[in-house]
């Protein structure tokens, strides 16, 4: 926002994060973000604070706090949204816009808007679609913008029109680039985000279900995905069979969506998402089974190197990471696991202090009985099977992401196993 020319203050309750940001350091790994912070740091247009009072005077207030899964339930935990909103309200002035970005259960915006009645402040729902690893690009050049405005019978109210004009100013640059804009009501805007994530999760679990069929029949899921992907109605993207999805969004979003559907009395509409979730979670167990298979039936005492800890490449985010889940399962089942990741070791160690961590793939695989590729970082895809073969005790690899060339690895003397492939 600051690089687009706006004056921005970022408010967070975490003093550590605010201090790092104020010093111009990104508090997490995101390609391009350090450069962008340095670029806008010199302009003086971006400041950080732990004090919500510093939000006073801004015309647009983006609400972007976390909405994790509630402990022991599928439902979203809205306590962060609640406390941020409550803390913000006293600092708002008539004419201000609050723009909700957090992914929330449908109905949340309506509830927050009711609490702003009489204040002259308008609530807009403006869901966020950025992808970790591409966050800078996705924010500066989004593939679409969605405004959920206060409306009556599908028509924005005068306050809604005024709020839209203000958001159009905020997004003037991407809008001038031709970014599609969908203007709609609160309910649709909130549903867009969870519908999109549910579709993506379903696509991944669909191809992973096909992988199970492939394993039962000797077929190759990667060739199957190529072949069905040529159909433009299907498309090849997000059809990569493997260890499945994780992270701080997809798993909790589909669960919160199911919980909300139940509250709305339409749980049947989303019962398929239970299956999507179950297929996804089975992948993690299946990878451990594959490791057991290449370890002559037992992983007890085996030295296993896991390449990857982040839930996806180009991120240091380990929330609900399939890679760490596999590593932890094997460790708990008696294997001696060493995990490495180009960026996520620090975060992973904080979660699983009992696991051994290494600073490179070469160090992690020393004397390993099995190597597991769990997160498809470019540097792991590019590993040379002959060079790596000199470091391990046994040449056995489980490619949890279907990104290696089986022929090349087998030619170098490796036992190669992957999900959904012979």
What positions carry a catalytic annotation? 249
Residue sitting closest to ligand NAD (CB) = 66
Nearer to ligand NAD, 316 or 341 (CB): 316
Contact with ligand NAD (CB under 6 A) among 1, 4, 8, 17? 17
Contact with ligand NAD (CB under 6 A) among 249, 288, 299, 403? 249
CB environment 317-335: b (16+ within 10 A), e (fewer): bbbbbbbbbbbbbbbeeeb
Chain mean position to CA 181: 23
The answer to whether residue 134 forms part of the interface with ligand NAD (CB under 6 A) is no
Question: Cβ of residue 344: shortest distance to ligand NAD, in angstroms?
Answer: 14
CA angle 12/17/19 to nearest 5° reads: 100
Contact with ligand NAD (CB under 6 A) among 83, 271, 360, 366? 83
User: Under 8 Å CB-to-CB from 246, ≥6 apart: which residues?
Assistant: 311, 312, 319, 320, 321, 322, 323, 325
Assess contact for 74 and 25: CB atoms under 8 A: no
Question: Cβ of residue 389: shortest distance to ligand NAD, in angstroms?
Answer: 37
From CA 401, how far away is CA 413, in angstroms rounded? 20
The answer to whether residue 318 forms part of the interface with ligand NAD (CB under 6 A) is no
The answer to whether residue 12 forms part of the interface with ligand NAD (CB under 6 A) is yes
The answer to whether residue 102 forms part of the interface with ligand NAD (CB under 6 A) is yes
User: Interaction with ligand NAD in 111-130: which residues (CB under 6 A)?
Assistant: 128, 130
CB environment 232-249: b (16+ within 10 A), e (fewer): eeeeeebbbbbbbbbbbb
From CA 101, how far away is CA 107, in angstroms rounded? 14
Nearest to 252 by CA among 33, 49, 8, 77: 77
Question: Cβ of residue 8: shortest distance to ligand NAD, in angstroms?
Answer: 14
Contact with ligand NAD (CB under 6 A) among 1, 33, 64, 195? 64
From CA 149, how far away is CA 156, in angstroms rounded? 6
Region from 81-89, 210-218, 288-296, 403-411 binding ligand NAD, contact rule CB under 6 A: 81-89
Contact with ligand NAD (CB under 6 A) among 8, 65, 175, 200? 65
The answer to whether residue 13 forms part of the interface with ligand NAD (CB under 6 A) is yes
The answer to whether residue 316 forms part of the interface with ligand NAD (CB under 6 A) is no
Question: Cβ of residue 238: shortest distance to ligand NAD, in angstroms?
Answer: 15
User: Interaction with ligand NAD in 189-248: which residues (CB under 6 A)?
Assistant: 248
The answer to whether residue 132 forms part of the interface with ligand NAD (CB under 6 A) is yes
Question: Cβ of residue 70: shortest distance to ligand NAD, in angstroms?
Answer: 13
Size of residue set near ligand NAD by CB under 6 A? 20
Helices (H), 23-146: 33-41, 79-88, 108-114, 135-140
Question: Cβ of residue 30: shortest distance to ligand NAD, in angstroms?
Answer: 10
Region from 6-14, 260-268, 356-364, 381-389 binding ligand NAD, contact rule CB under 6 A: 6-14
CB environment 14-39: b (16+ within 10 A), e (fewer): eeebbebbeeeeeeebbeebeebbee
Nearer to ligand NAD, 277 or 399 (CB): 277
Q: Strand, helix or coil at 90?
A: helix
What does residue 300 show for φ and ψ, rounded to 5 degrees?
-60, 125
Region from 31-39, 64-72, 223-231, 282-290 binding ligand NAD, contact rule CB under 6 A: 64-72
From CA 256, how far away is CA 104, in angstroms rounded? 8
Question: Cβ of residue 119: shortest distance to ligand NAD, in angstroms?
Answer: 19
Assess contact for 276 and 378: CB atoms under 8 A: no
Residues within the interface to ligand NAD (CB under 6 A): 11-14, 17, 64-67, 80, 83-84, 87, 102-103, 128, 130, 132, 248-249
């Amino acid at each position: 926002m600051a690089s687009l020319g706006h004056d921005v203050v970022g408010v967070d309750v975490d003093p550590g994060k605010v201090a790092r940001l104020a010093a111009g350091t990104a508090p997490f790994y995101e390609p391009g973000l350090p450069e962008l912070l340095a670029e806008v740091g010199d302009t003086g247009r971006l400041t950080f604070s732990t004090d919500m009072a510093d939000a006073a005077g801004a015309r647009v207030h983006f609400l972007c706090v976390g909405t994790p899964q509630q402990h022991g339930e599928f439902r979203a935990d809205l306590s962060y949204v609640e406390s941020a909103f409550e803390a913000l309200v006293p600092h708002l002035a008539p004419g201000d816009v609050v723009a909700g970005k957090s992914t929330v259960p449908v109905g949340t915006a309506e509830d927050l808007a009711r609490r702003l009645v009489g204040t002259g402040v308008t609530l807009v729902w403006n869901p966020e679609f950025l992808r970790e690893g591409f966050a800078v690009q996705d924010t500066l050049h989004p593939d679409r913008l969605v405004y959920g405005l206060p409306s009556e019978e599908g028509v924005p109210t005068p306050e809604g029109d005024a709020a839209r004009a203000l958001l159009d100013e905020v997004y003037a640059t991407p809008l001038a680039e031709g970014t599609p804009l969908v203007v709609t009501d609160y309910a649709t805007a909130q549903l867009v985000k969870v519908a999109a994530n549910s579709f993506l999760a379903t696509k991944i679990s669909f191809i992973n279900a096909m992988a199970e069929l492939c394993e039962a029949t000797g077929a190759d899921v990667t060739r199957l995905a190529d072949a069905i992907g040529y159909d433009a109605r299907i498309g090849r993207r997000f059809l990569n069979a493997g260890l499945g999805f994780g992270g701080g969004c997809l798993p909790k979003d589909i669960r919160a969506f199911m919980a909300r559907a139940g509250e709305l009395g339409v749980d049947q509409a989303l019962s398929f998402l239970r299956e999507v979730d179950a297929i996804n979670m089975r992948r993690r167990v299946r990878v451990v089974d594959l490791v057991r298979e290449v370890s002559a039936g037992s992983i007890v005492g085996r030295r296993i190197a896991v390449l990857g800890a982040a839930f996806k490449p180009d991120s240091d985010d380990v929330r609900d990471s399939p890679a760490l889940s596999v590593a932890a399962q094997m460790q708990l089942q008696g294997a001696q696991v060493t995990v490495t990741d180009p960026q996520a070791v620090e975060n992973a160690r904080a979660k699983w202090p009992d696991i051994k961590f290494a600073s490179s793939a070469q160090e992690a695989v020393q004397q390993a009985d099995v190597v597991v590729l769990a997160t498809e970082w470019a540097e792991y895809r590019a590993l040379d099977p002959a060079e790596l073969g000199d470091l391990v005790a046994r040449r056995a690899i489980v490619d949890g992401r279907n990104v290696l060339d089986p022929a090349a690895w087998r030619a170098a003397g490796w036992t190669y196993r992957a999900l959904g492939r012979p």
